[in-house]
Each structure stands twice: as structure tokens, then as C-alpha cells.
A and B are shown apart, each in its own frame.
Chain A
């Protein structure tokens, strides 16, 4: 079991460019989450999928951020027109259900220059 796999581990984008972050949850897990970690805000919940369906995106910035889960083996977080304030570590996590232990990936460090 390789755990939750996130790629790339580091990404540098220019201001205004698009960034796509990838997550491969643990096989068989039906719940997938995205979190963002910054020094100022700490770890913040972004969005949650259950069986690939979006359930709760209350933490997602309304503009420029979108998340998808086209199949059970991967999810993507897309940020359009990236801004310096989007620089953060983005964490993906998965679990069997929303009520069971959550396993986190190592994160993708996004730097917008």
C-alpha cells in the first residue's frame, strides 16, 4: 500500500498561470478530501468527495478553484489564474468512509511567483 499519492510534490507557477494538482487515493477508499496549509491560516478544509461525487466544497475559494474526481483512482485540484496568495501546501486525503481514519498524502507545495 503506497498510501495517498500526490503529484507533483513541488510546483512553481507564474502569476496568472493555471496549476493542476493530482491525487491518487488509497485503493478502495470512497472518501477523498483536499486541504490547504499555509503559515497564516494553518490547515484548512477545502472539499470532499464521496464515491466520486462532490459532497462538500464549502472550503473552496469561490473563484479560480475547482476540484474533480473523474474516476475512483484520482482527483484533481485546479487553480486558474494563480496568485501569490495561492502559494501553500495542498494536501489530499482519503478514507474508507467519512467516519473512518483519514490517511493523508505528503502534499504538493505550490509556489506562485
Chain B
């Protein structure tokens, strides 16, 4: 079946350091998967951070970026310099390009950024 595996948390990073949260996927029933990163800040609902629907393309938002790599079936999330406000839970997700409602989510990675 379809699945998403991401870095197991919690991940603790010092402010201004770089970050990478790994995400790999298996899309056995989806011919052209779309890939997403969602984030949940404390006390808030899940919100879309970035998405990429074409293999080989890179998405970016709020200083985060992720490249859709079809060869390695990966969609790692990276940021060059994190801030305390980036502390949140990050979810990698897989969707179908015919209707993204039926996401397959990773388990989530809790990130704590310390000053």
C-alpha cells in the first residue's frame, strides 16, 4: 500500500542551525503522487507548509524547502537556519493528483528549537 516514513522525533536543534527532516514515500496505488509538508504549531490546526506536484521540482515557504525526488522516492524538508518560532510538529504527506483529500500522512516529527 501507500505509505510515508519520516524522521522520528523529537528533533532538537539550536537556533540558527540547519535542519533536515527526512521523508520517504511509497506510492504503489498512485500513479502521479503529489507531495506535501504540513505543520502544526502549538495550539493551532494543521496547516499547509509547502507542496510539490511535479517530480524534480522544489517547493519553498517560510525559509523551508523540499525537492520531490522520484528516483529516491524522497521529499526531505530542509531549512538553512531555524528559529524558535519553527518549533512545531511537521508532517509529510502523499496525495493523489485526482483529488488530494485522501492524504497518506507520515507519523509526524516534533521539532524543538532552542535558543
Q: Give, as a whole number of angstroms, the nearest-CB distance from A93 to chain B.
A: 8
Q: How far is the CA of A98 from the CA of B43 in the complex (A)?
A: 26
- Is B105 in contact with chain A by the CB < 8 A criterion? yes
- Is A90 in contact with chain B by the CB < 8 A criterion? no
Which residue on B lies nearest to A100, using beta carbons?
B100
Which residue on B lies nearest to A39, using beta carbons?
B107
Are B101 and A42 interface neighbours, CB within 8 A? no
**Residue-by-residue, is B87-104 near A (CB-CB < 8 Å gives 1, otherwise 0)?**
000010000011111111
Q: A43-B91, A98-B99, A98-B100 are in contact. Are A103 and B47 (CB under 8 A)?
A: yes
Are A99 and B45 interface neighbours, CB within 8 A? no
Contacts of A91 in B (CB 8 A): 45-46
Q: A4-B45, A42-B108, A107-B45 are in contact. Are A48 and B103 (CB under 8 A)?
A: no
Chain A-chain B contacts (Cβ-Cβ < 8 Å), number = 50
Question: Which size bracket describes the interface of A in this complex?
Answer: 20 to 34
Contacts of A78 in B (CB 8 A): none
Are A99 and B48 interface neighbours, CB within 8 A? no
A contact face: mostly helix, strand, loop, or mixed: strand
Which residue on B lies nearest to A91, using beta carbons?
B46
Q: Interface size on B (CB < 8 Å)?
A: 20
Are A102 and B105 interface neighbours, CB within 8 A? no
Contacts of B38 in A (CB 8 A): 104
Are B101 and A106 interface neighbours, CB within 8 A? no
- Is B44 in contact with chain A by the CB < 8 A criterion? yes
Q: How far is the CA of A106 from the CA of B45 in the complex (A)?
A: 4
Interface positions of B (Cβ within 8 A of A): 38, 43-48, 91, 97-108
Top 8 A-B pairs, shortest CB-CB distance: A98-B99, A43-B105, A104-B46, A104-B45, A106-B45, A98-B101, A42-B107, A48-B101
* Given A42-B108, A98-B101, 20 other A-B residues pairs in contact with their CB atoms under 8 A: A4-B45, A33-B101, A43-B105, A43-B108, A45-B102, A45-B104, A48-B102, A56-B102, A58-B102, A91-B45, A95-B101, A98-B100, A99-B98, A99-B99, A99-B100, A101-B48, A102-B101, A103-B47, A104-B47, A106-B45
